[in-house]
A and B are shown apart, each in its own frame.
Chain A
Amino acid sequence: MTMLAQGPLAAPLGLRNLDQIYFVPLIALLVLLLEREMIRSAGGPHARTAIRILDVAILPLLVAFLIIVGLRLNQVLTHS
């Protein structure tokens, strides 16, 4: 256990080294996803319109999130 905690698997993504600014688009994405789910579960005649608009807003943030994660993984794998 100690070996694992001190080895490369202890912090595989090095989250402590991540700048806080990377979490801003992630939090924005979570807020919009949460709102989408709340609207979907509430239903109603206008839910579909609202969800369509939210989907368009969510997509770029989702792509940005995937790019950030991919680049971070690439960085970790090339340095390990």
Chain B
Amino acid sequence: MEVSVTSASPRSYRRLSQLTAGVVGYLAAMAATEIVAVAVGPLQGATCLALMFITLVNLTILARLREAASAGTVWRLLAVASIPPLERLLMLCMPPLRWGRLEEYVFWSVPLLVGAIVLFRTPLLAHVADSRPRLTRTPRGGYGLPGLSGQLLVALAGAALGVAAGLQAEGQLLPVGELLRAAQPAWLGIVMAVFAGCSQELVYRGVIQPVATAVGDWVGMIVSSLLMASAWLAWVGVGVAAPVVAASLLFGWAVRRWHTLVGVLVGHGLFNLALALLWHRMLL
């Protein structure tokens, strides 16, 4: 399933067509489940997502058994493709809780984080062990933060985009004292919102993006970033689509550039923090 642009054999074209058809079909199925969740109801949408998740898990098993003798990338693609439906399923099905006055579906990120940690220890990422992004380790095996100034800029850009999203959603900038007073009873919800952002980064940049870029390079990065943006928007609302899509693409590019997760973890956390603090109606 390796797609090489330089080799122009009919076989490579056939593989490219198969891959494109698979990606388009997958994105269409994800979009269809969102339409069902909005137009028909969350129960029906969650049912579609659960069916999609179970199907993808079983397709992963079949592909893994078929590719047992070779390195194989189809089963890896199918395995990471099963994560977004699971995330959306958890978002829809976790009970809404009132932490202070912030009512959010905050607990979906905990099972997702557990799944990501387990996935790091499986053979799923073995073929990209040298190039996959890490927290503090460099691709050469040492410890450090490659591109520290760039990472700082990415984190600050995440905060700036979060402020832009908060202002776009709220429509006005309230006095800082009033914002802090409103946020005080909802502190745990705000902490969970920041935690959810970090969990999403670990899953999408740490697991999905390395597998996708190993197959599709830039296209893989863009597809995984847009998938993350869609899940992010499903959580915070489509009213802040522009900053969310921009942040997702920026984070995807940063991880591809420096192969480290620290900058995007901080950036996504600051984005969610700024959005939760500035979006006054989110706290009411």
- Chain A contact residues, CB within 8 Å of chain B: 20-22, 24-25, 27-28, 31-32, 35, 46, 49-50, 52-54, 56-57, 59-61, 63-64, 67-68, 71-72
Contacts and interface: CB of A to CB of B under 8 A. Distances in A.
Mostly helix, strand, loop or mixed at chain A's interface? helix
B259 interface: no
B43 A25 contact: no
Interface of B: 42-43, 46-47, 50, 53-54, 57-58, 60-61, 64-65, 68, 79, 82, 86, 89-90, 92-95, 97, 107-108, 110-112, 114-115, 118-119, 122
B41 to A, nearest CB: 9
B89 A25 contact: yes
Nearest to B58: A35
Given A20-B43, A21-B92, A57 B68 contact: no
B54 A28 contact: yes
Given A28-B89, A53-B79, A67-B94, A21 B57 contact: no
A56 B120 CA distance: 11
Contacts of B95: 22, 68, 71-72
A63 B86 CA distance: 13
Contact of A24 (B93, B112, B115): B93
The 9 A-B pairs at the shortest CB distance, nearest first, are namely A60-B115, A60-B111, A63-B111, A28-B50, A64-B111, A24-B46, A57-B57, A50-B61, A21-B43
A68 B94 CA distance: 7
Contacts of A25: 46, 50, 89-90, 93
Given A53-B60, A53-B79, A59 B115 contact: yes
Contact of A50 (B65, B89, B118): B65
Given A21-B43, A21-B46, A52-B122, A31 B54 contact: yes
18 contacts: A22-B95, A24-B92, A25-B90, A27-B50, A28-B50, A35-B58, A46-B65, A49-B64, A56-B115, A59-B118, A60-B111, A60-B114, A63-B110, A63-B111, A64-B94, A68-B94, A68-B95, A71-B107
A48 B262 CA distance: 35
Given A20-B43, A54-B57, A67-B107, 4 more contacts: A32-B54, A57-B53, A57-B86, A60-B111
A61 B108 CA distance: 10
Q: From A25, A46, A72, name the one whose CB has the most chain B CB atoms within 10 angstroms.
A: A25
Contacts of B110: 63-64, 67
Contacts of A21: 42-43, 46, 92-93
Q: From A24, A49, A67, A72, name the one whose CB has the most chain B CB atoms within 10 angstroms.
A: A24
A22 to B, nearest CB: 6
B89 A56 contact: no
Nearest to A35: B58
B111 A46 contact: no
Q: From B93, B97, B118, B122, name the one whose CB has the most chain A CB atoms within 10 angstroms.
A: B93
B64 A24 contact: no
B53 A28 contact: yes
A45 B92 CA distance: 38
Contacts of A28: 50, 53-54, 89
B1 to A, nearest CB: 18
Contacts of A52: 122
Given A22-B93, A25-B89, A56 B114 contact: no
